[in-house]
Chains A and B, each alone.
Chain A
Amino acid sequence: MQNRNRTFSDPPASRIHSYTSDMLELKNITRAYELGGEKAGAFGVSLSVPAGCLAVLAGPSGSGKTTLLQLAGLLDEPDEGEVFLEGQPVSRLPEKARCELRLRRLGFVFQSFNLVPVLSALENVMLPLQLQGLKDEDVRRRAAESLDCVGLSDRLEHRPGQLSGGQQQRVAIARALAPRPILVLADEPTASLDHAHGGPLMDLMAQQCRESGVSFLVASHDPSVISRADLVFRLADGRLVATEGAA
C-alpha cells in the first residue's frame, strides 16, 4: 500500500540506500530490446550526474542515449541495475510513486517539443504546476516567471502553432523548469532546431544550471551541445566508453 502523503524527500527507512552528492546515479544499468532483429539498448552502464551539472550523453544513433535517458527519467524500468535519485533507489518503485517523482522532481524536454497544441504557451507551462495541485494564482505567477526566464514573456497567449521551433523549445524548457525539478532530462533538444537557435538554447540550459542548481542530462550527438557540457558520457553500442569533464 502506497502512502499518498509520503514525499520523495521523506522516504521510508528501508528505501534509503546510500546518499551521495550525486543528483542522479545509474549503477550497472542494462535494458535490452530487439531492434530490427538485433539487440539494442544499454548494457552495464554506470554513471553519475552531480547537482547543478550540465551532462551530455553523446554518441551516434543506436548507442543507447535515449534508453538511458528514459531509465533516468523513470519512464522505463531497467532489466538489471538500479537508478538512484538523490541517493535513493527509484527504478523499482510502483508506477504511481515514479509518476509522483516525475511530477515533482524531474523535468522533460523532447526533441519535437511535445507541447499540447490546444493550450497557449502559458497554459502549457502551467500544466505540470496544476497537476501538482498548486493554487491558481501561484500556478499562473510561476508559469509566467518561468516563461520570462526563457525570454518569452511577450508570447504567453500564443499557441504552439503560432511559435517558431526555437520558441516552442524554450516553452518546453520553461515547462520543464517551472515545477522546480532537481533534474531535467532532454532528448536531442536541438535536433529540430537550426544552428542559430540550438546554441542559444544550450546557453539557456547552462545558465539555468548555474543559477538554479538544477542538473541537466541531455542526450545529443550535436557538437555544439557537447561543447557546452560540464560532463560528457560517450556511448557506443549501448556501453559507456568514455567520460569527459570534471564531475
Chain B
Amino acid sequence: MILPRLALRNVLRNRRRTTLTLLVVIAGYMSLSLAGGFMAQTFDGLSQAAIRGGIGHIQLLHPQALEGDEGQSLEFAIPEGEALASRLRSDPSIADVLPRIQFMGLLSNGPKSVAFLGTGVDPVREPQFMAVMDSLKDGAKANGGADSRWVSAAPGSREVILGVGLAKSLGATVGSSLTLMSTNKDGGLNALDVEVVGLQDLGLRELNERVLTVSLDTASNLVDAGSARSRLSLLLKYPKDTVKELPRIQTLVGKDVQALPWYELASFYKQVKLLYLAIFGFMGLVLFLVVLLATANTLLMSVMERVREFGTLRAMGMQASQLTSLLQWEGALLGLCGSGLGLLLTLIFRLAVNALHLQMPAPPGTSHGYELNIHFVPVVYFGVFIGLQLTLQFSALFPGLKAAKLRIVEALRHV
C-alpha cells in the first residue's frame, strides 16, 4: 500500500497545479455527462412522440406494407384486423390495441382540392393512449381552430380533424363542410361530406399540410374497409418489455402479419439518434484529448521536478515497474477525485438548470419549443467516469515510462 499513499502525497504536493488539472477533469466530466443527459431527454421526447404519435410500442401490419405504395386503399391491410385486435386485447401483457385505417385521396372545398393522407382511428381508445388531445390543443391556437374538439364516436357522424396547414390551404375552419374523396379497396372512387370539428398541430410543417384524422367508422365507410385494418398499434402494459414481447407477439399473430417495434418504424427518431451519437462521439473525443494532454503535461512536469527523488527511490531498491505504478496511481487519484467532484457538480448543476424551467427553441423542422430537462442517466455517468479514468491512466503511462527509464546515476546528479 506504499505506492497509493506516496502517490496521494505527490498529488497534494503542488496543490495549485493539481487543482488546475482537476478542473480540466471536472469540466470534461460535466460536459459529457450533461450532454448525455440532454441527449437522453431528446431521445425520450422523440420516442414518446413516436409511440404516442400513433405507432404504439409494437405495430402490426401486412408484411408488404412497408415495401411499396398501395395501388388502392387497403391493398396491403390486415384482412381481419378488427377481429385480431379483439383477440389481442385479452392478452395479459397488452394494455390495448388501436386499429387504424390509412388512406389517401383528395379533400375538396368545392373550387379547390388538396391531396391528403388520412387516418381512421378509434375515437374512444385513441385519446386514452395517444397524444391526439395535445395536437388538438395546439391546433386550437391556429387561425380558425377555436372550439376544436375530438371526433365523435357516434355511429354515422361524419367529422374530420385537419392539420393546420391543410386547413389553411383550403381556407377551412372549425365548422366548415368539405368533401373527402378516395378509392375503395376495389379501386372504385368514393366521396363523403364531412364537417371540420378541429384542427391539429403535429409539430412538423410537412405533416400539418397533409394529414387529417377521422373516426374508424368514417374511414371504413369511405374506403369500404369492412373488418380490414391497415395497422394495429399495440400498447404494452410494461413498455420496457417491448423487445422481450416482440417475438412472442409475432408468434401469436402468425406469419401473415408482421410485428415491428416502434423504434424500427420511427425513422426520424433513428436519424436524430444517429446524428446525436455522432456529435456526442466527436465531442467526447475532443474532450478526452484535452483531458489527456492536460493531465499528461501535469504528470510529465511532476516527473521532471522529481528526477533526483526518483533516482533516490531507485537507488533504495524501488523497481522501475514500481515507479511506473506510482505514476499510474497518481493518474488514478487525479481521475477519481476529478470524476468524483465532476459527478457531484453535475448532479447539482442538473438540479439547478432543471429548476429554472428553461425553454429551448424549436428543433429544425418542428414548430414547438420544449422545456429543458436534463435527464439523470447513470450509464452515461458511469461510462464517462470509466472513460476519464482510462484517459488518466493512459496519460500517466508516458511520464511513468520516462521515470522508469531514468539512469539512476544521472538522476542522482540532476539539479
Given the known A-B contacts A75-B412, A99-B319, are A118 and B312 also in contact in the complex, defined by CB atoms under 8 Å?
no
Judge whether A221 is part of the interface by a CB distance below 8 angstroms. no
What are 16 A-B residue pairs whose CB atoms fall within 8 Å in the complex? A75-B409, A75-B412, A76-B408, A76-B409, A95-B320, A99-B317, A99-B320, A102-B315, A102-B317, A104-B317, A106-B317, A114-B312, A116-B313, A117-B13, A118-B13, A119-B6
Judge whether B314 is part of the interface by a CB distance below 8 angstroms. yes
CA distance A67 to B412 in the complex (A): 12
- B residues within 8 A CB of A100? 317
CA distance A79 to B322 in the complex (A): 28
Contact A108 B315 (CB under 8 A): yes
Judge whether A128 is part of the interface by a CB distance below 8 angstroms. yes
Taking CB atoms and an 8 Å cut-off, the chain A residues in 67-123 that contact chain B are: 70, 73, 75-76, 95-96, 99-100, 102-104, 106, 108, 110, 114, 116-119
**Option from B2, B12, B309, B320 in Cβ contact (under 8 Å) with A131:** B2
Taking CB atoms and an 8 Å cut-off, the chain B residues in 1-34 that contact chain A are: 1-2, 6, 9-10, 12-13
Taking CB atoms and an 8 Å cut-off, the chain B residues in 129-169 that contact chain A are: none
Query: Quick one: closest B residue to A112, CB to CB?
Result: B308
Contact B315 A75 (CB under 8 A): yes
CA distance A67 to B318 in the complex (A): 21
Contact A75 B13 (CB under 8 A): no
Query: What's the nearest-Cβ distance from chain B to residue A158, in Å?
Result: 15
Query: What's the nearest-Cβ distance from chain B to residue A159, in Å?
Result: 10
Query: What's the nearest-Cβ distance from chain A to residue B278, in Å?
Result: 45
CA distance A117 to B1 in the complex (A): 19
Query: What's the nearest-Cβ distance from chain A to residue B336, in Å?
Result: 19
CA distance A122 to B320 in the complex (A): 24
Contact A114 B317 (CB under 8 A): no
Contact B317 A128 (CB under 8 A): yes
Q: Mark B301-321, 1 if CB is under 8 A from A, else 0.
A: 000000011011111111110
Query: Quick one: closest A residue to B408, CB to CB?
Result: A75
Judge whether A127 is part of the interface by a CB distance below 8 angstroms. yes
CA distance A230 to B314 in the complex (A): 29
- A residues within 8 A CB of B6? 116, 118-119, 127
Given the known A-B contacts A110-B412, A130-B2, are A118 and B10 also in contact in the complex, defined by CB atoms under 8 Å?
yes
CA distance A153 to B187 in the complex (A): 105
Contact B317 A116 (CB under 8 A): no
Contact B308 A114 (CB under 8 A): yes
CA distance A24 to B312 in the complex (A): 21
Query: What's the nearest-Cβ distance from chain B to residue A100, in Å?
Result: 7
6 tightest A-B CB contacts, nearest first: A103-B317, A118-B9, A130-B2, A114-B312, A102-B317, A75-B408
- B residues within 8 A CB of A102? 315-317
Contact A103 B316 (CB under 8 A): yes
Contact B318 A131 (CB under 8 A): yes
Query: Quick one: closest A residue to B8, CB to CB?
Result: A118
Query: Quick one: closest A residue to B11, CB to CB?
Result: A118
- A residues within 8 A CB of B409? 70, 75-76
- A residues within 8 A CB of B318? 99, 103, 131
- A residues within 8 A CB of B9? 118-119
CA distance A114 to B415 in the complex (A): 12
CA distance A103 to B318 in the complex (A): 7
Query: Quick one: closest B residue to A108, CB to CB?
Result: B315
- B residues within 8 A CB of A99? 314, 317-320
Query: What's the nearest-Cβ distance from chain B to residue A114, in Å?
Result: 4
Given the known A-B contacts A75-B408, A116-B309, are A128 and B10 also in contact in the complex, defined by CB atoms under 8 Å?
no
Q: Mark A159-185, 1 if CB is under 8 A from B, else 0.
A: 000000000000000010000000000
Given the known A-B contacts A75-B409, A131-B2, are A118 and B12 also in contact in the complex, defined by CB atoms under 8 Å?
yes
- A sample of 7 more A-B contacts (CB under 8 A), given A106-B317, A131-B316, is A75-B408, A75-B412, A99-B314, A116-B6, A117-B13, A118-B10, A127-B313
Taking CB atoms and an 8 Å cut-off, the chain B residues in 284-343 that contact chain A are: 308-309, 311-320, 322
**Option from B1, B2, B308 in Cβ contact (under 8 Å) with A127:** B2
Given the known A-B contacts A116-B309, A118-B12, are A131 and B317 also in contact in the complex, defined by CB atoms under 8 Å?
yes
- A residues within 8 A CB of B309? 114, 116-117
Taking CB atoms and an 8 Å cut-off, the chain A residues in 168-216 that contact chain B are: 175
Taking CB atoms and an 8 Å cut-off, the chain A residues in 126-143 that contact chain B are: 127-128, 130-132
Which among B308, B312, B313, B317 has the greatest number of chain A C-beta atoms within 10 A? B317
CA distance A33 to B318 in the complex (A): 26
CA distance A175 to B13 in the complex (A): 22
- B residues within 8 A CB of A128? 316-317
Query: What's the nearest-Cβ distance from chain A to residue B308, in Å?
Result: 7
Query: What's the nearest-Cβ distance from chain B to residue A118, in Å?
Result: 4
Contact B317 A73 (CB under 8 A): no
CA distance A89 to B2 in the complex (A): 31
Contact B322 A131 (CB under 8 A): yes
- B residues within 8 A CB of A103? 316-318
Which among B12, B311, B316 has the greatest number of chain A C-beta atoms within 10 A? B316
Query: What's the nearest-Cβ distance from chain B to residue A123, in Å?
Result: 8
- A residues within 8 A CB of B412? 75, 110, 114
Query: What's the nearest-Cβ distance from chain A to residue B319, in Å?
Result: 5
Q: Mark B90-111, 1 if CB is under 8 A from A, else 0.
A: 0000000000000000000000
Taking CB atoms and an 8 Å cut-off, the chain A residues in 3-37 that contact chain B are: none
Query: Quick one: closest A residue to B317, CB to CB?
Result: A103
CA distance A131 to B320 in the complex (A): 12
- B residues within 8 A CB of A106? 317
Query: Quick one: closest B residue to A115, CB to CB?
Result: B312
CA distance A36 to B399 in the complex (A): 30
Query: What's the nearest-Cβ distance from chain A to residue B302, in Å?
Result: 12
- B residues within 8 A CB of A116? 6, 309, 312-313
Which among A73, A75, A128 has the greatest number of chain B C-beta atoms within 10 A? A75
